[in-house]
């Protein structure tokens, strides 16, 4: 579902298996015989779908494919869960792409067979990230300690979100250079510091020190795994360090089709960065791998195609062995040997879960939990990633938000008849045990459930 479903060790093992796959592709043609992969694409995609299907066929398996389901069962009002259960009874593994964030998780919850997320809205596209990481690893041997610049539409690019997490986990430093108005969402940045433990330098600070020839940065994520790097340096030396150049420049296209109508009016692609020969003459790009998840539009000039730094067609080609390795592992056709030393340096955080029926809904309109067909059976569920200030993360789309009102299910020695709600900003929020917390979107919803405003409602 997300790149975080695989540990660093599992990813390294997958890369070894992908090496094996590409070294002797003809020898793999019996691995998944008699297995069927269902390829369910609710969004048009040729590249990703054909890459998965090629991978399965190279493993000797079969494919059933639905290339643009938007118009079919959905039109009849069918839910994703129902489709998942039915296709789960036909196939052995499902690959799903869907325009709603969290849709792949729902499929995984109901299918009863392994499910691979091939992109869910603006949320994640973890196998693209595997191709990206694999390419960096093949070209530079390691990811730890590298400086990777991310360019372009960092807001809607789901490949960017998956990649950001993975780079952080493998110990890279990340330089964010969004096109103005297309910054990385705050919940992605927050996760970098709260879960991967690094340090985030924001633009305002950087503006003072990073001047001149270097590209305008929005933020830098400094990994805790590289003590010899920026993390330990005073601000003034960031520029010096950066001027030694970046190891990779990862460019994405303007994701027009994901922009909201409000965004469409803003001509956000007006100052979109353009990567071309001239730019790459800069010494900070001398050794930089030029990467792109494709398709490209105008942000990456064709004149670079023959440049040895250009990696984007290699990234695409490596999708086949990576996906072969992943499918073979999921179908049990191969075992992955996870080496001791490559264990991830980060620990997955175990946040308390909030799933009371108090009317709280994910505020993301394209989250799967907010769709008419899915709301029939999906119960909203959130991770409480922070109490003061109170932040919930939707378990489906992983977007975070700050609800306004709280109450306790165990207040005043259990006297529930005196039901009161309070501002989430109040000092009371930390007094309530997470398991007793009741959260409301709005005063209306609190009152509809019989709660009355306390004196702590501002």
3-state helix, strand, coil in the chain (%, to 5): 40, 20, 45
The residue assigned the tokens 């709600």 is: 421
Please list the residues that pair with 380 across neighbouring strands.
none
Cβ 68 to a second copy, closest distance in Å?
7
Closer to a second copy by CB, 48 or 358: give it: 48
The residue assigned the tokens 């970046």 is: 246
The contact mask relative to a second copy for 79-108 (x = CB under 8 A, - = no) is: --xxx-xxx-xxx-----------------
3-class secondary structure, 332: coil
Complete DSSP assignment for 33-65: TT-EEEEEESS--SHHHHHHHHHHHHTT-EEEE
Cβ 285 to a second copy, closest distance in Å?
21
The residue assigned the tokens 């420049």 is: 249
Contacts with a second copy by CB under 8 A: the residue count is 58
Give CA–CA dist 270/136, Å, rounded.
30
The contact mask relative to a second copy for 417-446 (x = CB under 8 A, - = no) is: ------------------------------
Interface with a second copy, residue 188, by CB under 8 A: no
Answer whether 73's CB lies under 8 Å from 340's CB: no
Closer to a second copy by CB, 12 or 92: give it: 92
Is beta strand 248-251 parallel, antiparallel or unpaired with respect to 147-152? parallel
Residue whose C-alpha is closest to residue 54's, from 281, 319, 246: 319
Give CA–CA dist 235/205, Å, rounded.
9
Identify the residue among 204, 227, 234, 257 touching a second copy (CB under 8 A). 257
User: Apex CA 13: angle with CA 12 and CA 19, to 5°?
Assistant: 90
Interface with a second copy, residue 26, by CB under 8 A: yes
Q: Give the footprint of a second copy on residues 34-73 (CB under 8 A).
A: 34, 36, 38, 40, 44-47, 49-51, 53-54, 57-58, 62-69, 71-73
Answer whether 336's CB lies under 8 Å from 152's CB: no
Please list the residues that pair with 251 across neighbouring strands.
151
The contact mask relative to a second copy for 349-388 (x = CB under 8 A, - = no) is: ---------------------------xx-----------
The residue assigned the tokens 């064709």 is: 302
Cβ 274 to a second copy, closest distance in Å?
12
The contact mask relative to a second copy for 282-321 (x = CB under 8 A, - = no) is: ------------xxxxx---x--x-------x--xx--x-
Closer to a second copy by CB, 34 or 417: give it: 34
Residues that bind a second copy (CB under 8 A): 26, 29, 33-34, 36, 38, 40, 44-47, 49-51, 53-54, 57-58, 62-69, 71-73, 75-78, 81-83, 85-87, 89-91, 253, 256-257, 294-298, 302, 305, 313, 316-317, 320, 376-377
């Amino acid at each position: 579902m997300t790149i975080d479903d695989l540990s660093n060790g599992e990813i390294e093992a997958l890369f070894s298996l992908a090496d094996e796959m590409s070294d002797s592709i003809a020898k793999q043609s019996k691995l998944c015989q008699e297995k069927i992969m269902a390829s369910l694409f609710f969004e048009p995609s040729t590249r990703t779908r054909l890459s998965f299907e090629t991978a399965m066929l190279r493993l000797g398996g079969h494919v059933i494919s639905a290339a643009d389901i938007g118009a079919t069962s959905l039109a009849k009002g069918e839910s994703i869960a129902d489709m998942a259960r039915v296709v789960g009874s036909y196939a052995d593994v499902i690959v799903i792409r869907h325009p709603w964030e969290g849709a792949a998780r729902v499929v995984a919850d109901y299918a009863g067979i392994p499910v691979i997320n091939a992109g869910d809205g603006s949320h994640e596209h973890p196998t693209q990230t595997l191709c990206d990481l694999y390419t960096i690893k093949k070209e530079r041997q390691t990811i730890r300690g590298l400086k990777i610049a991310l360019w372009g539409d960092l807001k809607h690019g789901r490949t960017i979100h998956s990649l950001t997490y993975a780079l952080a986990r493998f110990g890279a430093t990340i330089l964010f250079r969004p096109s103005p108005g297309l910054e990385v969402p705050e919940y992605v940045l927050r996760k970098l510091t709260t879960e991967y433990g690094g340090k985030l330098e924001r633009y305002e600070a950087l503006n003072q020190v990073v001047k001149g020839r270097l590209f305008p940065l929005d933020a830098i994520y400094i990994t805790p795994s590289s003590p010899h790097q920026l993390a330990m340096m005073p601000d003034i030396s960031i520029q010096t360090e950066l001027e030694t150049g970046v190891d990779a420049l990862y460019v994405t296209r303007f994701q027009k089709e994901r922009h909201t109508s409000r965004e469409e009016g803003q001509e956000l692609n007006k100052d979109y960065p353009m990567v071309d020969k001239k730019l790459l003459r800069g010494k900070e790009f001398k050794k930089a791998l030029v990467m792109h998840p494709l398709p490209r539009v105008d942000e990456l000039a064709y004149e670079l195609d023959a440049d040895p730094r250009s990696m984007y067609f290699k990234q695409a080609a490596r999708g086949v062995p990576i996906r072969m390795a992943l499918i073979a592992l999921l179908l049990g056709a191969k075992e992955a040997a996870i080496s001791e030393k490559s264990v991830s340096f980060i620990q997955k955080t175990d946040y308390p879960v909030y799933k009371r029926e108090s009317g709280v809904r994910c505020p993301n309109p394209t989250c799967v939990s907010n769709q008419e067909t899915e709301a029939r059976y999906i119960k909203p569920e959130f991770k409480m990633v922070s109490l003061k200030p109170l932040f919930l993360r939707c378990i489906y789309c992983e977007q975070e938000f700050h609800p306004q009102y709280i109450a306790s299910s165990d207040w005043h020695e259990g006297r529930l008849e005196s039901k009161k709600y309070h501002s989430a900003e109040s000092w009371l929020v930390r007094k309530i045990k997470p398991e007793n917390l009741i959260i409301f979107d709005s005063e209306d919803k609190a009152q509809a459930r019989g709660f009355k405003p306390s004196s702590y409602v501002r």
